């Protein structure tokens, strides 16, 4: 049970830090602007079938952006404030601390879903009807878990890489496409579709859309796929972070360079 | 199992060449060290001597290249988890804590990492906040505290897991004299609880005031380990004679006697110090001074600083 205690404590620590430095959650200020942009285009276009994309794409984009941003900086920040050695020298696993902190940020970033919804309903007066609330809520919860798992993997990957910024910059827009965030994966060329399916966000996007349609066949197994892909990311992340710890203890430095 | 708190044998640590440091660097070169339980053991040496590297290895955050190290009977490589649950480490820096959150939140977080359950962790946190005298500032952010207070938070963090062995890595660096004295007083109290401390420092007064034994290292090599008083004797430095003299003739006689290495004037006018060439010549120096009618004199062993400077040579405190 100690690992759950460490995850919870790390989560609380991250929330406490974010309260002191609200700029860490700047995404909550920019996400409504993205939502307004998407909704304006949709309203001008007049096609109601893209309503779901217009409402929730900004939230998914914000979540992915936060994961990249966090993943790139999480372990480096610990190193910068000289807490990394203390964490490594403690009886707990660094991976549990990183995952706990990421859960907190992803959880806070999930408020962008609420912002997008409020923007659509109150500002654009659109009828956003969630036909299957259970599917929607479960999708949100499992997607947040998968996002946290993937961000944990990115945290390990980025600290082992020589060029974090290059990674971060190249993993934004292409992944919005691969994740089916901007347009459904089914509209992509057939050869690209298998690639998208190893990325959990493509399943999450489909599920969000399905929750707003009258028919939502096969949602349970699609949720399971998101959970499995998220868990794979988490396990991969914990393995990578363990490698970081081994590197630090072997070389005295976490950096590859 | 051994009764020693720390047992180090043939410990080497080589930092491999990397970008920015093209040559491999030997930080520790075959160190042997024993630390007896229940005392403060000082690790003295100039910057770059290898003190921090040794503490890092003993606290399991760095692997040795060769040799063995055991803490409280557990090997730091083979049984690192056993070591981690039994030790605390205190760094001498304003960093190493979460500066933007409160003292209490920091300690609660570290309590969880040391396996303390919610209620036990909260109790231990409050106990330590009280112990280090920060009850009034427990809800303040760490970044709002003075250096001395931050160092107390570091100490509380190091003690959160109730360790029997505590590593103190230059804990009073940068503190003003009053804060440093307070910190040392606190260490004295903690020592009475039966803990063992390994204190790295280049503050000789601190080592002399706190430590039962000191180990002097330089350039990764152990120069000596001894009782603080024995350090002076081990070096067998010529003893000193301090005396009052108004007549320069006495000084000339002393200098010409071949019994002293030198005579220097002390801070007080008319007060001088003669360094005898050997223990045997000390008696002759005293007799010579007595024959000249000087009765106000005293002898003293070399200070730790003098011993230290002789051991590390011209490098002194330099990097």
DSSP class per residue in B18-80: BTTB-S-EEEEEEEEEEE-TTSEEEEE--TTSSHHHHHHHHTTSS--SEEEEEETTEETTTTH
Please tell me the predicted confidence (pLDDT) of residue B317.
45
Nearest beta carbon to residue B84 from set A17, A91, A252: A91
Computed over every residue of chain A, the mean pLDDT equals 86
Question: Is the pTM for the entire model greater than 0.90?
Answer: no
Chain A residues 30-89 with CB within 8 Å of chain B: 81-83, 85-89
- B152: Cβ–Cβ under 8 A, 6 or more apart, which residues? B132, B133, B134, B183, B186
3 state DSSP class of B317: coil
Cross-chain CB nearest to A81 (options B63, B99, B109): B99
Cβ–Cβ of B113/A90 closer than 8 Å? yes
Closest A-chain CA to B24: A251
Q: Is A9 touching B (CB cutoff 8 A)?
A: yes
Give the integer Cα–Cα distance in Å for B220 and B12.
8
In three-state secondary structure terms, B12 is strand
Using CB atoms within 10 A of its CB, is residue B302 exposed (0-12), middle (13-18) or buried (19+)? buried
C-alpha closest to that of B244 among B176, B294, B279, B301:
B294
Q: Per-residue pLDDT for A166 more than 90?
A: no
Q: List, for residues B122-141, the tens digit of each pLDDT value.
A: 999 999 999 888 999 999 99
Which residue has tokens 């965030």?
A: A181
Mean pLDDT, to the nearest integer, of A39-62? Answer: 80
Whole-complex ipTM: 0.87
Interface test with B, best of A77, A91, A93 (most B CBs within 10 A): A91
Interface test with A, best of B56, B61, B158 (most A CBs within 10 A): B61
Interface list for A 195-254 with B (CB within 8 A): 248-253
Please indicate whether, in this complex, the C-beta atoms of B89 and A86 are within 8 angstroms of each other. Answer: yes
Q: Do A91 and B81 touch (CB under 8 A)?
A: yes
Which portions of chain B are predicted below pLDDT 50?
316-319
pLDDT tops 50 at residue A257: no
Contact B46, B317 (CB under 8 A): yes
Which strand (E) or helix (H) includes residue B265?
A: strand B260-265
All residues of chain A having their beta carbon less than 8 Å from the beta carbon of residue B97 are 81, 83
């Amino acid at each position: 049970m100690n690992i759950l205690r460490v995850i919870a404590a790390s989560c609380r620590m991250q929330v406490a830090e974010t309260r002191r430095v609200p700029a860490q959650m700047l995404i909550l200020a920019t996400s409504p602007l993205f939502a307004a942009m998407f909704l304006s285009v949709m309203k001008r276009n007049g096609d109601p079938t893209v309503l779901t994309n217009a409402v929730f794409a900004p939230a998914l984009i914000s979540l992915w952006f936060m994961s990249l941003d966090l993943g790139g900086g999480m372990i480096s920040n610990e190193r910068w404030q000289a807490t990394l050695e203390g964490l490594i020298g403690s009886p707990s696993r660094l991976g549990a601390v990183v995952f706990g902190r990421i859960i907190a940020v992803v959880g806070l970033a999930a408020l962008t879903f609420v912002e997008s919804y409020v923007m659509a309903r109150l500002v654009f007066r659109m009828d956003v009807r969630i036909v299957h609330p259970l599917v929607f809520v479960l999708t949100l919860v499992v997607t947040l878990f998968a996002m946290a798992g993937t961000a944990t993997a990115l945290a390990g990957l980025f600290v082992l890489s020589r060029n974090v910024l290059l990674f971060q910059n190249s993993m934004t827009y292409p992944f919005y496409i691969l994740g089916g965030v901007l347009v459904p994966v089914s509209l992509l060329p057939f050869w690209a579709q298998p690639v998208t399916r190893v990325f959990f966000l493509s399943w999450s996007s489909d599920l969000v859309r399905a929750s707003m349609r009258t028919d939502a066949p096969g949602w349970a197994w699609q949720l399971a796929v998101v959970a499995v892909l998220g868990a794979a990311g988490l396990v991969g992340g914990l393995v990578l972070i363990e490698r970081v710890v081994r590197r630090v203890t072997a070389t005295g430095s976490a950096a590859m360079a | 199992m051994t009764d020693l708190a720390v047992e180090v044998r043939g410990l080497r640590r080589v930092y491999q060449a990397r970008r920015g440091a093209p040559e491999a660097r030997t930080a520790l070169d075959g160190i042997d060290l024993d630390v007896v339980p229940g005392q403060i053991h000082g690790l003295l040496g100039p910057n770059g001597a290898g003190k921090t590297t040794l503490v890092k290895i003993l606290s399991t955050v760095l692997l040795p290249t060769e040799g063995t190290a055991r803490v409280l009977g557990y090997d730091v490589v083979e049984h690192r988890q056993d070591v981690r649950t039994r030790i605390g480490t205190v760094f001498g820096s304003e960093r190493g804590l979460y500066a933007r959150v409160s003292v209490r939140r920091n300690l609660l977080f570290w309590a969880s990492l040391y396996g303390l359950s919610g209620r036990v962790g909260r109790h231990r946190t409050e106990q330590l906040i009280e112990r280090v005298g920060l009850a009034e500032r427990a809800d303040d952010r760490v970044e709002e505290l003075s250096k001395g207070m931050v160092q107390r938070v570091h100490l509380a963090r190091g003690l959160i897991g109730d360790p029997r062995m505590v590593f103190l890595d230059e804990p009073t660096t940068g503190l003003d004299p009053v804060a440093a004295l307070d910190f040392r007083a606190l260490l004295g109290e903690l020592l009475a609880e039966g803990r063992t401390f390994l204190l790295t420092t280049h503050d000789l007064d601190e080592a002399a005031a706190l430590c039962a034994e000191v180990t002097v290292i330089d350039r990764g090599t152990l120069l000596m380990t001894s009782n603080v008083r024995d350090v002076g004797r081990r070096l067998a430095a010529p003893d000193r004679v301090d005396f009052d003299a108004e007549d320069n003739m006495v000084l000339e006689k002393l200098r010409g006697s071949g019994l002293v290495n030198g005579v220097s004037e002390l801070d007080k006018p008319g007060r001088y110090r003669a360094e005898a060439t050997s223990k045997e010549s000390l008696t002759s120096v005293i007799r010579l001074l007595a024959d000249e009618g000087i009765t106000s004199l005293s002898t003293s062993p070399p200070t730790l600083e003098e011993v230290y400077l002789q051991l590390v040579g011209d490098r002194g405190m330099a990097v």
